[in-house]
A = this chain, B = another copy of it.
């Protein structure tokens, strides 16, 4: 089977966007108006937004199951009000849960967390536990920069983050490292912030010794690992210069890159320099890059075409398409047929 480990619910019904607008509007108010109510959205509305978009493309492309999370650019972790963060994460995760309930064979859930810039992580731990134990989610998206482009949080090897890591290890779920919208006018969300975050966190993991402390912790770094595989020699060289153990031991037992790289030469490089044990198939559709490459007529984000075109052993192809993802997200097993 083919599992896409990285999809977002970018096509939510309009009423849900209005709810988000109401939450934001309330933050600007001085009075003590009541919290907005999560809108009633019918199963039919949810099905329609999925069937016409993500599920249609999954079927066209031959992808069986997508690990699905709330829209990344709407995670809004820059908002400092903890009550708003809790309400928004809960509503967003509940909506994804409904998708996974309506289409249990095609979607498994991953939650966003109610992080705030430098806020305590208790709410995030509680929401992670709720989503995994009550909603059957298989992982979380962890934002290394809730400030949205100002990088005001400690590096991810800092003990600030440990409460989330402890809960992840206890529940045996991984985190995808995923920022939300950039609030920094110098840093474009989709064309810079996302990729920079991938690179920045990888280098934090080289600097620290997080996996020495948490050997069972697993991170997926999306967007093909940002700049990392392209600069694999640089990272190897820096690792030696900084007297760190080899990357393969120090980082790559616990870190995985997805295949959200939208052209053939990029996927060729990724699969050339990174072990097939560390690559998870993904497309992030419908995500940052929609539409077709005029030179090929194919969709930019149809990453299966690129992976299919790479010369790989059948074993390695199975790892990338299915087996690694089952290993990194072991809670998938409960929902899937045996490999």
Q: Which residues of A contact B (CB under 8 A)?
A: 144-145, 149-155, 184-188, 190-192, 195-196, 199-200, 202-204, 206-207, 223-224, 226-227, 229-238, 240-241, 261-263, 265-266, 268-269, 272-273, 288-291, 293, 300-301
Contact assessment for B237 and A291 in the assembled complex, using a CB-CB cutoff below 8 Å: yes
**Chain B residue contacts of A145, Cβ below 8 A:** 186
Nearest chain-B residue to A207 (Cβ)? B188
**Chain B residue contacts of A187, Cβ below 8 A:** 151, 200, 203
Contact assessment for B206 and A300 in the assembled complex, using a CB-CB cutoff below 8 Å: no
Min distance, Cβ A79 to any Cβ of chain B, angstroms = 20
**Chain B residue contacts of A196, Cβ below 8 A:** 192, 195-196, 199-200, 227
Contact assessment for B204 and A237 in the assembled complex, using a CB-CB cutoff below 8 Å: no
Nearest chain-B residue to A153 (Cβ)? B186
Chain copies in the assembled complex: 2
Contact assessment for B224 and A231 in the assembled complex, using a CB-CB cutoff below 8 Å: yes
Give Cα A154 to B187, complex, Å: 10
Min distance, Cβ A263 to any Cβ of chain B, angstroms = 3
Please tell me which one of the listed residues B192, B241, B269, B273 contacts residue A291 in the complex, with CB atoms under 8 A apart.
B241
**Can you give 14 A-B contacts (C-beta < 8 A)?**
A150-B151, A154-B185, A154-B186, A188-B204, A190-B238, A191-B206, A195-B196, A227-B227, A231-B266, A232-B265, A237-B288, A237-B301, A263-B273, A265-B273
Please tell me which one of the listed residues B153, B199, B272 contacts residue A192 in the complex, with CB atoms under 8 A apart.
B199
Give Cα A224 to B223, complex, Å: 18
**Chain B residue contacts of A144, Cβ below 8 A:** 186
Contact assessment for B224 and A200 in the assembled complex, using a CB-CB cutoff below 8 Å: no
Nearest chain-B residue to A190 (Cβ)? B238
Q: Given contacts A154-B185, A155-B185, is CB(A233)–CB(B190) below 8 Å?
A: no
Nearest chain-B residue to A194 (Cβ)? B234
Give Cα A47 to B272, complex, Å: 42
**Chain B residue contacts of A288, Cβ below 8 A:** 234, 237-238
Min distance, Cβ A190 to any Cβ of chain B, angstroms = 6
Give Cα A290 to B300, complex, Å: 37
Min distance, Cβ A205 to any Cβ of chain B, angstroms = 10
**Chain B residue contacts of A234, Cβ below 8 A:** 190-191, 195, 223, 261-263, 288-289, 300
Interface centre among A145, A149, A187, by most chain B C-beta atoms within 10 angstroms, is: A187
**Chain B residue contacts of A300, Cβ below 8 A:** 233-234, 236-237
Nearest chain-B residue to A206 (Cβ)? B191
